[in-house]
Chains A and B, each alone.
Chain A
Amino acid sequence: MILVISNIANDYAATLVDMFPPGTAVLITASQFHQSFKTGINVDDLLGSHIVINRKAIAVSDISGVINTVTNFYQQEFYYIDPADRGYVCTELNAFIIYLLTELPCKKLNPPSVRSLTGPSVHKIEWVKTAHTLNIPVWQLKIVNGLCVNKEQPNLKICLCTVVGDELTTDNIPETVANFTRVLQRVFALPYMSCCFVCDDIGKYYLKDISFVPDITTDINRRAILNYFI
């Protein structure tokens, strides 16, 4: 069974679930959690526990994969909770899902970290240092009190490179850009990574941004994700 964790507003999540063979993938959202997800988990015996999703009992040990498109749940998603309690319920559910996803011994796109339900949730300052250490050119960056204040330069060529497992999901990617992306993917040890590069006047590529959260809005990405799990 594959768990797809997303936001109820992301219609592509349901599309992704439908791409898997019938009955082999389910969607979990915070907005429907109280109706669709029931569980009793022994922390000392997680794999012996069961989850009921959409009235179907699933042994935790039968969960073979997780695709997660949200770094955390937001208070606003818990519309069915009294507004005064939403913050608490949201914090509790995030804490529970972090534990559950961390302990599941299956393929995860992306694996959670202690600060994020998907991927490492590293600040720009942290991945800039990692990339610089790896001799990957990074686009100049200035941040003041948490806000990027770089002057945007118009007409720069942008190149987005996404990798799912071993598969690049964009055609005609310059080899340098593909190599940089694969190196970062290896260093962060993640199956999914999307890197945005900019190209200067003399054709040199610089890393401008990284996303660790699977983007399922394009058909090619969804197919690559499907291939990764099947």
Chain B
Amino acid sequence: MILLYGLIEDTPLTMVHEKLEKAGADFLFLDHRKIFDYDIEYAFSNEGGSKCIIQINGARLDLDDINVAYLRPYNFMDYPQMEGKNVDDRLALKASGFELQLMAWFDSSDALVINKSAPSASNNSKPYQLSLLSKAGFKVPSTYISNDKDLVKTFLRKNVDTVYKSISGVRSIVHKVSDEHLEFIDDVQWCPTLFQKVIDGTNYRAHVFNNQIFAVRIETDRLDYRYGKTSMVPEDLPYDVAQKCHKINEMLGLHFSGIDLMRTKDDEWYCFEVNPSPGYSYFELNGGQPISTALARFLMDADH
């Protein structure tokens, strides 16, 4: 059986839900919004091994029956039930315990999971992931991390076109470093900051399955295309770039990812980031590629 775990109003989940339903797939949707109503129980004995059951309003779901899982959990602290409550509230502790235990089960299970938590966590450290991208054969932008204002100034003098962004997976809008930012350069002493040389070229986004890639070329009027006037055109990646995309997925242990690429005027391909839980619907709706259909097919094939 296939498990979908997330919010029904989350477009990537909705789209695959629709495709699975249409195909008559054997799947179950576990609504993340009802996380406070669920209970999860794990038991181990040397004779019987491990067993994990979820109780959903009196019904029991044996997690051994799940062969494939597509997980898009959200931050339950944003739900109305948590309004005015802290992370150490009884209900919050129960929900975080549920989530941790569910992920631990899937991390140790033989089920195909999109995606397990350790591979997903590579996105929590950009330099860590850049280093892996480099090992997969990608060119990566020159990147500098510092908490020393004098060293930062020297780096910026040598690299005029530079952006700064978070080191971690915390979402940040990419900005070019300007004179206005230099007024606050002393603040780097409080927190190491990541600076990256700007690469000029055309953005590409590739959604990568084990054996299939959907890529779009992105035309935009902004440095960060997510926040600008943007159009997308489907385009095949060169063979060697596609191979590198598959290689990084394999190195990270991901079954589905969204990879951000840049093609320069000299036809060099840079890679910025691998997203282990891609919001592919934005690209499907703008680029017209059947990513959700492919995802549903991928999940169904893995279930058989």
* A and B associate in one complex: yes
Residues in A lying within 8 Å of B, measured CB to CB: 34, 37-44, 52, 80-81, 85, 88-89, 91-96, 98-99, 102-103, 113-115, 122-126, 128-129, 132, 137-138, 140-147, 206
Taking a contact as CB atoms under 8 Å apart, the answer to whether B147 and A89 are in contact is no
Chain A residues whose C-beta falls within 8 Å of the C-beta of B96 in the assembled complex: 146
Contact A38 B140 (CB under 8 A): no
B133-144 contact mask (Cβ, 8 Å, vs A): 1 or 0: 010000010111
* Tally of contacts, chain A with chain B, CB under 8 A: 163
Question: Which chain A residues border B93 with CB–CB below 8 Å?
Answer: 146
At the interface with chain A, which of B100-108, B241-249, B277-285? Answer: B100-108
Decide: A43 and B41 in contact? CB cutoff 8 A.
no
Which of B100, B127, B130 makes the CB contact (< 8 A) with A146?
B100
Sample of 20 A–B contacts (CB below 8 Å): A34-B147, A39-B148, A40-B151, A43-B142, A85-B190, A92-B170, A96-B125, A114-B128, A115-B118, A125-B52, A125-B107, A132-B46, A141-B43, A142-B41, A143-B43, A145-B94, A145-B101, A146-B97, A146-B101, A147-B97
A99–B131 contact, CB under 8 A? yes
Q: A99–B155 contact, CB under 8 A?
A: no
A115-B42 in contact given A125-B105, A126-B104, A126-B108 (Cβ < 8 Å): no
On whether the beta carbons of B148 and A40 are closer than 8 Å, the reply is yes
B128 near A102 (CB under 8 angstroms)? yes
CB-based contact B98/A145 at 8 Å:
yes
CA gap between A34 and B190 in the complex, in Å: 6
B46, B143, B148, B170: which has the most chain A beta carbons within 10 Å? Answer: B46
Q: How far is the CA of A41 from the CA of B152 in the complex (A)?
A: 10
CB closest residue in chain B, given A149: B41
Kindly state the separation between the CA atoms of A91 and B166 in the bound complex, as whole angstroms.
Answer: 10
Q: Are B142 and A44 in contact (CB under 8 A)?
A: yes
Docked pose: A94 CA to B167 CA in angstroms = 9
Q: Nearest CB to that of B106 among chain A residues? A: A125
Q: With A114-B122, A146-B97 known to touch, is A140 a contact of B45 (CB < 8 Å)?
A: yes
Q: Answer yes or no: B231 CB below 8 A from chain A CBs.
A: no
- Nearest residue, chain B, Cβ from A124: B104
